[in-house]
Amino acid sequence: MSSKSSIFRSIVQSRKTCRRFEPGRRIPDKIKEDVLNSTLRSPSSFNLQPSQIIFIESQDVKDALSEHAMLGPGNQYRIKQASAVAVFLSDLEPTKRVNRIHQLEKNHRHPNYRAVFPLSTSFLIGEGHAANLIKGIATEWLSAVKPMPEIEPVQAWSYKNTGLLAQTFVYAAESYDLSTAMMEGFDPRRTRDLLRIPDRYAIPLMVATGYEYEEEQDFTQGKETPRLDVSEIVFSDYFGEMWDPTSNNTASSSRNDVNEDEPAFQSPQTATGLPPLRSKINLK
Q: What is the pLDDT of residue 131?
A: 62
| For residues 180-192, average pLDDT | 97
Enter the pTM of the model.
0.79
DSSP string covering the chain, please? Answer: --HHHHHHHHHHHH--B-SSB-TTPPPPHHHHHHHHHHHTTS--GGG---EEEEEE--HHHHHHHHHHTB-SHHHHHHHHHSSEEEEEEEES-GGGGHHHHHHHTTTTS-HHHHHHHHHHHHHHH---HHHHHHHHHHHHHHTTTS--PPP--HHHHHHHHHHHHHHHHHHHHHTTT-EEEEE--B-HHHHHHHHT--TTEEEEEEEEEE-B-HHHHHHHTT-PPP---HHHH-BSSSTTPBP-TT----HHHHHHT--TTSPPP-SHHHHTTPPPPS------
The pLDDT of residue 62 is above 50: yes
Q: What is the share, in percent, of the chain residues with pLDDT greater than 90?
A: 54
Better-scored residue on pLDDT, 77 or 260: 77
Write down the mean pLDDT value for the chain. 83
User: For residue 208, is pLDDT > 60?
Assistant: yes
Q: Which domains does the chain have, with CATH numbers?
A: 16-222 (3.40.109.10), 229-284 (no CATH)
Query: 106-162: per-residue pLDDT in tens?
Result: 888 878 777 777 767 766 666 666 566 666 666 676 677 777 666 677 888 899 999
Question: Tens of pLDDT along 14-42?
Answer: 999 999 999 999 999 999 999 999 999 99
Q: Are 201 and 90 in contact (CB under 8 A)?
A: yes
